[in-house]
Amino acid sequence: MERPPGYTVGREDQVCLLHKSLYGLKQAPRVWFEKFQSTIIDLGFQQSLNDPSLFTKVSLTSIVVLLLYVDDMVITGSDPTGIDQLKDGLKQAFSIKDLGNLSYFLGLEVSRNDQGILLSQKKYISDLLGEHNFDNCHSVKTPMELNLKLQKDSGERLKDGSQYHSIVGSLINLSATRPDISYAVQIVSQFMTAPCVDHLVAVHRILRYLQGAQDDKVSKSSTEAEYRAMSEVGSEMVWIRRLLSDFGVACPAPMTLYVDNTSAIRIAANPVLHDRTKHIKIHVHYVRDLLRDGTISLHHLPTEEQVADLFTKAFSTSRHWYLGNKLMLRDRHQFGGGC
């Protein structure tokens, strides 16, 4: 920091002693969080071991939950009195503003009706399309052409890749609520270092797809790849179950993991090291431990019903929308209808 105006020149050996952390200094975020953390704990809340930004207060009959992001927070729960007490406690310690029922948070739009809650990023999409002059473009039915093969030298190298970087970065953020673009975004994000014309065309197609689907919302060898994926998913399932326990939600055991590769299921169920799997690192066999101790159960799912395929490949229009419906993607006007 700079010395305040009027400070005597020539005393280079002296510095300012701060009585409190100032906004903008690199230690300010840590100091702020420590202050908030001590305040919320004094109010009777517990910090989650699974997510340090999550705080809960659980009783035999109710729960109050607070989720913090920098200095924005979401408060919810089954105890209106407890929520009011939390707000009062925070107002005594901080200058806060109650914005009412959650409708927008970190780019996520939240809407409700009698049947549930919808999460979307329609405004985010609208702003993205407008920023890149795609708000009035002709839409397409899928985010990526079927059988498209992009290479690092696909077309002429872009002289300025800033637009490509900007769009892809925004699409990565958007894919949190739009799994239907996950695979396409995964592909185009591989060429961030040196994007070419064909890569930009593929990115523009994703924008054209979004232009026509803004209202949608979301309420190795193949065997080795599937097996590795099972281990990763198993870890996530364990983490989610621990996280849900912070909300007082008990998950049945075993948790069901659906897999469309029977060979991968056999490897997980059989501890014998086959020649084709002995090179797989030990930590990948974590799925075997989960299966053995009853944390998960593995069930075969026909490939045509595997919704996770939407994250890994491009499809025809009918197939793309069939899998999208299974992921509960809905036009806001369709919400409330059947699958």
Tell me how far apart the 2 most distant CA atoms of the chain are, in Å: 78
Q: Which of 47-61, 150-164, 278-292, 307-321 has the lowest mean pLDDT?
A: 278-292
Query: CA nearest 238: which of 225, 251, 219?
Result: 251
Q: Which of 58-72, 73-87, 197-211, 314-328 has the lowest mean pLDDT?
A: 314-328
Residue 336 resides in a domain: no
Give the strand pairing for 116-120 and 216-218.
unpaired
Say if residue 284 is in the same domain as residue 240. Answer: yes
Say if residue 208 is in the same domain as residue 152. Answer: yes
Say if residue 296 is in the same domain as residue 270. Answer: yes
- pLDDT higher than 50, residue 317: yes
Q: What is the predicted pLDDT for the residue at 152?
A: 86
Q: Which residue has the tokens 């002709």?
A: 138
Q: Compute CA 268 distance to the chain's CA centroid, rounded to the nearest angstrom.
A: 28
Assigned token pair, 61: 């009959």
Look at residues 216, 246, 281 and tell me which one is the last residue of a structural domain: 216
Q: How many domains does the chain have?
A: 3
Residue 159 resides in a domain: yes
Q: To which H or E segment does residue 118 belong? A: strand 116-120
Say if residue 208 is in the same domain as residue 227. Answer: no
Using pLDDT thresholds of 50, 70 and 90, give the confidence band for residue 242: confident
How many angstroms separate the Cα of 202 from the Cα of each of 142, 143, 167, 209? 11, 8, 11, 11
Domain residue limits at 239: 222-301
Residue 326 resides in a domain: no
User: What span, in angstroms and rounded, lies between the C-alpha atoms of 61 and 214?
Assistant: 40
User: What span, in angstroms and rounded, lies between the C-alpha atoms of 56 and 20?
Assistant: 28
- Stronger pLDDT, 272 or 216, i.e. the higher one: 216
Give the strand pairing for 216-218 and 54-58.
unpaired
Say if residue 231 is in the same domain as residue 209. Answer: no
Say if residue 227 is in the same domain as residue 167. Answer: no
Assigned token pair, 274: 């086959």
Residue 87 resides in a domain: yes
Per the omega criterion (within 30 degrees of 0), is the bond before 254 cis?
A: yes
Say if residue 266 is in the same domain as residue 226. Answer: yes
User: What span, in angstroms and rounded, lies between the C-alpha atoms of 219 and 206?
Assistant: 22
- pLDDT higher than 70, residue 271: no
Say if residue 208 is in the same domain as residue 237. Answer: no
Residue 320 resides in a domain: no
User: What span, in angstroms and rounded, lies between the C-alpha atoms of 57 and 59?
Assistant: 7
Residue 310 resides in a domain: no
Residue 306 resides in a domain: no
Assigned token pair, 28: 């300010």
User: What span, in angstroms and rounded, lies between the C-alpha atoms of 187 and 185?
Assistant: 5
Look at residues 216, 249, 284 and tell me which one is the last residue of a structural domain: 216
Contact 137, 211 (CB under 8 A): yes
| Average pLDDT of span 59-66 | 90
Residue 285 resides in a domain: yes
Say if residue 192 is in the same domain as residue 178. Answer: yes
pTM: 0.58
Say if residue 6 is in the same domain as residue 95. Answer: yes
Say if residue 92 is in the same domain as residue 14. Answer: yes
| Mean pLDDT score across all residues of the chain | 81
Q: What is the predicted pLDDT for the residue at 272?
A: 53
Contacts of 324 (CB under 8 A, 6+ apart): 180, 216, 310
Say if residue 130 is in the same domain as residue 89. Answer: no
Look at residues 194, 216, 238 and tell me which one is the last residue of a structural domain: 216
Using pLDDT thresholds of 50, 70 and 90, give the confidence band for residue 90: very high
